[in-house]
Structure formats: structure tokens, C-alpha cells
Structure 1
């Protein structure tokens, strides 16, 4: 299997036995076979040294990482479940991209004994499964759970994150609502702008926010949160050594292999985030200074910076974590479950250009930072395929509520899956051409509502105008402006794209799409829009300033 060290775990009753063999054991009613290990050093799951596991769901796309081997083994039906570790998304992301369940346990809920740490403040044990009952059973064994009385459940939908996501569409609110109506013990779903919530309730995060003109809707706060967790775009040291640590003795070949794996992992590192600079130095500084490994171009400088650095205020980093956990505890309490997309972007193709992989990486960490930094448990829930690609949502519950979250998935998954199927099969109402004067009147009403800062009302008027005349670029462009004010950046981008398809020289559409894409952290595309607007109108100050700002952000 591409040179991975494979370990099978057999669960019999409540005992866990690690077995260093390379075969799947025959199944029986008392036995489940599983795989543990198969770790790769990047969030995309690609590995130039040992080969990239093939994603069974979409073979031409990345499997996600770093626990990609474990996710692929489950998705390919080689085993019933598999284990891995999750530091900044390493279970949740590959689960989403491979179309399987992935559970990240609460920080500290499962012992990390025997696992070489990457970042003790973030590392957790996780597992994959195709079936929610298997996911549930594995959790009961690892977490040593006891029976609890059933309590009511309350879903809280992070609307702002679904607006950011290209991988999960805003129909989520609809099918979550439909599901709760069909199940007993579920309250009607609530809604939250989680970015704004975090910005308002995690005061210490302000010290890490970049100065920007588009911090609205909490985008800046979430970006800051991901940088505190890890702006270490390629990371993972502890995970790659898990299999080697399972050996009872070290021979020269094992030691050489360990050192080689360390070097390969370090070569995958991006610029370290402050959290991991501190813990990277603690965990591996002595090895770096004593072995002095030969590293790739531009890597040595980054590693030496990490070794020689100490954050000025380490306490500030831990304060962010403590405040975030307290804020989510207050939001979710004992019955709340946050509903959010697992990833923002659909899976990219294997061997994609470096810039695209880097953007995917950054935006994936943007969402995964919420549970990683808070220590909360999170489960990736597969929803089948849409447009030929796996889709999923994630559920987050408060720290220590792992059983509550596992029970919820087991209880609601079949109903959720059916509602998703119905939602995806439903077709949008077709546009109909109406009388020109009527659509123009609606546009004027929309303009008046926009000037009065009644953004939702403006959107409704522009939408009615579009229904009457779907070929007028102005209606889409104006609605995009209202969407921007509401923080609905993905919908704003879609409207601007439609406007541009109808009017190739629509400067406002390019500028507004640039703003939307900048808010979605897709800086390269945003820069191209500002540049296009600048070419069309060389003296346009907004286009000029936007182009300069994006160059600075990308540098």
C-alpha cells in the first residue's frame, strides 16, 4: 500500500489490541477490523515521497490529509473503520473529501499515550467509518462511554459559513429544518453568524486580526483564529511517527526511517503559526539542533526561525483558546449542536498547481480552526454526491459531549440523508420574462430600499425583477450590492458572474465580485477582478486601491 506501515486494531468487547500485521483479519459478530496509521504530511493528502492514496470517491481528486490513508481504507471498503489523529483538520477534511464519517474527539477525551505529539494543545484521536452505527460503537470503546438519559437537541446553523462554502450550498437550513420536524426531541433550528459571534466574544483574538477594510461578518476574526491555530500551511510532525512508535525496539533502519520521515515532514511545512512555533520548538527543537538534518530549499530558514523563536506572549494564545471554548459553551450549552460546512471548497484535482493547493489549504483551515482551537468534538457527516463530488456537513458539540454528538448522528442520519436527497432533487423556479416596465419598477423599489439600508427588502425587490426579466445585468449587479451588505458573499459573487455574462464591460460587477472574492479569501481571483475593472476604467480609484491591496495581501 504505497509503503505505508499498516496496523490493524481488533475490538473485542471493550478491549483494544494493536496488531502490527499487514492483513485484514476475518470478521465475525464479535470482531471489527480496522486500520490505523497511513499518515501523510499535508492537508491535501498528497505525498511525493510515498505516493498519494487514491480517493475511491473521486480518483482524480485529492483524498485530503493528513490521515488520508486511513480515510481511503474505509472509503474503499478495505476495513470497517480506521483510526487517525486530528490536529487542525486531519480527520475531518479527508472524511469529507472521501465521503465517509469522520469523528474528532474532544481534546483530551482519548489518551494520546504512545503518540509522538505534534501540538499538545490541538492533538486529538479520531476515527473514520462508513456506517454511523460503526462510528458509534468505536466511539463507545475508545471513549469508554456510559449510558446517559436522552435530552433534547437544538441545531444552530452557521449561515455565514454556508455562504462562504462552495462545497455545501445554503439549502442546508431547509433540510435541517425538515429533519427536525420529522424527529421527536428536536427543537426548531436556530441561526447564527458564527464569525461575528466569535469576533464579539473572543476579545483576545483582536490582537491577531489583520487590519482590513473587510472584517465584516467575522471573516477577519475567523482568519485570525486559523492563524493562531496554525498558519503553518503544511505541518504535522507527530502523526508520521505513530506507526514507528508501535515497534517495541529500534534498529538502525527504523531510526534512519524516522529521521527521513521527519525531514520529509519538515519539508512540507509552511510558515509556522505562533501556536505551533512554540510547541514545534518544545517537541522537536533538540532533534533539529543535534541531528542538523539536510532540508530542502527555503525550509531550513523557516525551521531555524521556529527553533530560535518564542512568542512574545504565549499566554495570549492560550487565552484565545480558553475564551473560544467558553463562548461556544455559552452558545451551545448542553443541548446545542453547531451545523457548518466541513470545507469551503470542493476537492481540487491531484497534482494541482501550488497556488491552488495553498488556497485550498488556507480556506480549509479557516473552518477547522473552530473545533481545533476550542477543543470541541466534531463529526463530518457524508451526504452523498452532488455534481459528481462527495458532499458533507459537520456538527460541533461542546467540549466533552462526545456521546451526545455520536448519539445524535446515529439518531438522525437516515432522516437527514432523505431530506438532503429531496433538497438536491428539487428544481429552482424558472425565470419568466414579464413586462419591462414592471421589472424596472421593482428595480427602483429595490434601489430605494438599498438607499434606506433595508438590505433584505432590496434583495427581495431585485429578485422579483429578475424573475420578470432575467436578461438584465443591472438587476443581478444591484442585488449583488445588497448581498455584500448582508455578508452573503457567495451569492454576491454568483450574481456578479451572471451580470458579467450578460454585460462583459460591467465595471461595477467586476468591482463587486472582487469585493466578494476578497471577503471569501480568494485573493488571486479578487485581484484579477480589480485588474479587469482597472483596465476598463483606468482612473477608477476603487479598482486601483483594490488591486494594490490584493497585491499586498498575496505577498
Structure 2
């Protein structure tokens, strides 16, 4: 385990870095790297660990094993050294969902609710937009798996969780950076993880400041940085951190109620190479902590399930249920697991869709209907019409570019970027495609690539006001 439960890579200055059995060239993740490696290497059937801000979920994702972080306070932490008592939990890892569930039977109180009725998956679309992993390996796998189950699940729904947070956690506003309407949800997600980290620093300082200042322990660079941030933490507005925590738990309970399960990515990307001098980028950390803060700050339970590999590294997905719904969530994972494994295999063999006969006149009519819907701000309807036009004629760059604009309005940035990619393959001088792809990339904090797109647009139209303003704005971000 990383020193003081603070690391996220699994590297340890004193004991060395455990080898990741699922991908030996990369770090195993932390802080509970030993537990994850032991389970992944089949040395044990399950392992326990602490999870404060992702300490079990991160290595579970990197090592390709199942993980369960219980609701805060449901499993006793008596006998452990606290990191942050408002966030600390005792969780567990396993390779087999039946083992994961049986450990839950042993540790969870009888009051931790079991099956409550037909479950409904709620996909956090804006979180998946932040990934560079195609939806067919994540969202589609889960949706297709649930469709094959004969009973027990309602049709899934999709939401922008960032916008939901922004609208339902009023005290979070003081932690949000100024943002456009389009980026409001992204700002709320970042603010949520900021509150989580500030709360952790405040409570760690209260618990360990005297010891750190007296002993002056020799710590690894990553851990030392986090410990110093905590010990040097000063903030007079501590009360607001606890208010946000309370509001967020209530808001998530209201969203999920008794039968909802939020679906979101576990991690933002692939782990670092072993023994690399490179450090985690601020962009990677922002996304990673945004994902883990959803359960950590609300105190809700979360299960992490591996989804095979992407680019030769394990990937996973997570499920979050309301506080106290631990056995309900474990049962849902057990019911879905076999179907998920079947869909992972099918996704890896996914063939390209067949070519559809073209009908130019009809496709143009559908495009016009899409344009009319767009003007009326009926974004989803516009997407349906543009998609129909593309099915009939997939060589028209305008159709893709128009659909990208509608995706942007819905905050579905990954789909917008993909449509702009296709538009530019068909028409390399499509200025709107560069502008919209740049907007999509900027919205997921990919500032360098966004700047390149806006500069491409300026090369084609030197006086384009949108591109000029974006260039100026992004240069400030990249300083």
C-alpha cells in the first residue's frame, strides 16, 4: 500500500512497485496496489483495502479486477489509521462477482438493502465524453448486456451528470470556476472533486499534522506532494465543504431513488509506464478525481467491473447506487456480469455496418428538417434527421458537420468530435468542422489539440472571429 493511503500510481519508494499482472509494463495503481495485484495474479480469491479518494477503484481498474466500495459508514473502519474520516471506507476486490457478493454478505449489515424492484441504469453521458475509448467498448457493452436480460431492468436513461450537479448542489457554486453555459457541467464536476480533495486535506491535517512536522518522514515524491498540500492547507470556509457533501448525497439519492444505478467511467485513461519519469498530467488527474468524487463525496456505494482491454490495457466501468443500497448494487452486478462478458467478446469482433443505398433527394430533405429542428432548439430531433440523411448519403460532409453542432448543444462532445473527423475526411477545407471539433476538444479540456483546430480554421479564414477569440482564450489556458 502507498504511504499514508495517498498515492495513485502504486509506486513505493521503500518497497518497490508491485508488478501489474494485467499489464506488466505499467503501474498497478494505488494506493492499495498490493491488494489489487494479489487478486489479479490469482494469489488470493479476494482482498480488502481502504478507499478514500479512489484507493481501491484506481488499482482495480488498472489491474482488471472487480472492486466494491461500500456506502460510507456501513462497514466499520475501526482499527485503521484515518486518512479522512468523512471519506474513508473499507472495500474489497475479487475476480469473481460471486466472491465479491459473498464478501459483502459477510461484511455488510442485514439492513444494507437487497433487491428493491426493477433496476434502471442511468448513464452519465458527459463523463463518457471525457474518454478516448469508443462507446462501443463501454456504454454500448452495458446497454446491450441489459437488453439481453429477460427481466429485472427498466429501459436505461442518459443524463448530463455535470449539469445535474450544477442545478442541484447550490452550495457548490462558490467552488466553480467561471464558465460558459456549454461548459457549466464540466465546471461543476471539477468543483465537486475540488471539494473532495479540500475535505481530505483538512481532515488529514487535523489527524496527522503534528506527526508529520515532528517525524518529518521520508516519502516518495508523489505522496510527499500530497502530504505537504494537506499539512499546508488553510481555508476558513470549512463549513461549506460539509454542506456540499450533504447536498450532493441528497441530490444523488433524489436522482437514483431506490432502483436507479448511475453508470460512469472508473478512470480517465491508461496508467503510466513503470519507472517513468513522467507524472500524471493535471488534465488526467482532474478527470480521474471527478469520476471518483461522485461516490466518495456523496458516500454512496460503487462497484467497478472490468471491460476487457483497449490498446492492450485493461479498462473498466463503474456503477453507483444510493447510500445504503449496497446489497442491491452487488445483486445487480451479479445479475449483469455474464451478459456483460458476452458483450465484451462481441464488441471486440464488431463489424462495420453495411453500406446503405443512397438517395440524395431524400437525404437533402432530411437535412432541411434537421436544420429546422435545430433552429427550434430541438437538438435530439435534429440529430435524428441528420442521422437519417447520413444513412442515405454518407459522403456529404455537411450532414456530419450539422449533426456535430447538435451534439455540441447536448454536451455530447465525443460524438461531435467524431462527426467532425468524418466531415474533414470528406472535405479538408470545411471551416465549420474545424471550429466545432475545436469547441468539442476545448470542452473536454484538451486545449492543445483544440488550439490546433482553431488555427486550421484561421488558415482557411484568417478573419474568422470565432477562431480568433478561441485562439486568444486557449493561449491563456496553455501559459
TM-score (norm 2): 0.88
Report the alpha carbon displacement of residue 413 of structure 1 after superposing the two structures with TM: 1.7
Corresponding residue for residue 176 of structure 2: 209
- Provide the secondary structure at the position in 1 that maps to 2:166: helix
Distance in 2 (alpha carbons) for counterparts of 1:298 and 1:76: 26
**Shift in Å at residue 304 of structure 1?**
6.3
Name the Cα RMSD after superposition: 3.2
Partner of 1:227: 194
1:198 equivalent to 2:183? Answer: no
Give a deviation string over 1:430-472, Cα, whole Å, max 9, x none: 3446355554444344333322322223223322333344333
Deviation of the 1:217 alpha carbon: 6.5
Equivalent pairs counted in the alignment come to: 477
Preserved CA contact (<8 Å) 2:123 2:156: no
> Does residue 81 of structure 2 align to residue 120 of structure 1?
no
Structure 1 regions of 5+ residues with no counterpart?
5-36, 231-273
Question: How far apart in 2 are the matches of 1:536 and 1:407?
Answer: 56
Q: Which residue of 1 aligns with 2:139?
A: 172
Q: For residue 239 of structure 1, what is the aligned residue in structure 2? A: none
Structure 1 residue 215, shift from structure 2 partner: 4.6
* Alignment partner, residue 344 of structure 1: 268
Q: How has the CA–CA distance of structure 1 residues 43 and 303 changed in structure 2, closer, same or farther, with 3 Å as cutoff?
A: closer
What SS does structure 2 have at the residue aligned with 1:164? coil
Contact 1:167 1:343 in 2 (8 A): no
Residues 214 and 519, structure 1, Cα contact 8 Å, conserved in 2? no
Identify the residue that residue 381 of structure 1 maps to in structure 2.
305
Greater Rg over alpha carbons, structure: 1
Aligned residue number for residue 97 of structure 1: 62
Instruction: Give the drift of 1:351.
Output: 5.7
Identify which range, 290-299 or 192-201, moves more after superposition. Answer: 290-299
Q: Distance in 2 between matches of 1:66 and 1:298?
A: 11
Question: 2:58, 2:267 within 8 Å by CA — same for their partners in 1?
Answer: yes
User: 1:409: how far off?
Assistant: 1.9
Q: Among residues 387, 390, 414, which one is paired with 1:490 in the alignment?
A: 414
**Residues 363-397 of structure 1: CA distance to partner in whole angstroms, max 9, x if unpaired?**
11111110000011100012333554433221111
Matches for 1:205-354 after TM superposition, within 5 Å: 205-216=172-183, 218-230=185-197, 274-292=198-216, 306-347=230-271, 349-350=273-274, 354=278
CA distance in 2, matches of 1:297, 1:404: 40
Match of 2:336 among 412, 423, 428: 412
Distance 1:421 1:200, change over 3 A: same
CA deviations 1:250-299 (Å, max 9, x no partner) are xxxxxxxxxxxxxxxxxxxxxxxx22332232123213433456889999
Whether the 8 Å contact between 1:446 and 1:457 is mirrored in structure 2 is yes
Decide whether aligned partners of structure 1 residues 476 and 198 sit closer, same or farther in structure 2, where only a CA change above 3 A counts. same
Match of residue 521, structure 1, among 428, 445, 454: 445
Closer, same or farther in 2 for the Cα pair 1:546/1:69, shift >3 Å?
farther
Measured in 1, the distance between the counterparts of 2:394 and 2:276 equals 36
Pick 1 or 2: higher relative contact order, CA cutoff 8 A, min separation 6.
2
Alpha-carbon displacement from aligned partner over 1:299-334 (angstroms, at most 9, x marks no partner): 999866754543121110000100011111222222
Q: CA deviation at 1:49?
A: 5.9
The unaligned stretches of length 5 or more in structure 2 are: none
Match of 1:70 in 2: 35
| 2:135 alignment partner, SS class | coil
Q: How does 1:415-494 map to 2 (within 5 A)?
A: 415-422=339-346, 425-432=349-356, 434-494=358-418
For 1:166 and 1:298, how far apart are their aligned partners in 2? 25
Q: Return the alpha-carbon distance in structure 2 between the equivalents of residues 368 and 303 of structure 1.
A: 19
1:163 maps onto 2:129 in alignment = yes
Check conservation: 1:275, 1:317, Cα contact below 8 A: yes
Question: Could you tell me how far apart the structure 2 residues matched to 1:96 and 1:408 are?
Answer: 19
1:108–1:554: structure 2 CA closer, same or farther, 3 Å change rule?
Answer: farther
Q: Which moved more, 1:281-290 or 1:305-314?
A: 305-314
CA contact (8 A) 2:51 2:91 kept: yes
Preserved contact between residue 40 and residue 47 of structure 1 (Cα < 8 Å): no
8 Å contact 1:71–1:98 — kept in the other structure?
Answer: yes
Distance 1:544 1:117, change over 3 A: farther
* 1:152 counterpart residue number: 117
Which TM-score applies when normalising by structure 1? 0.76
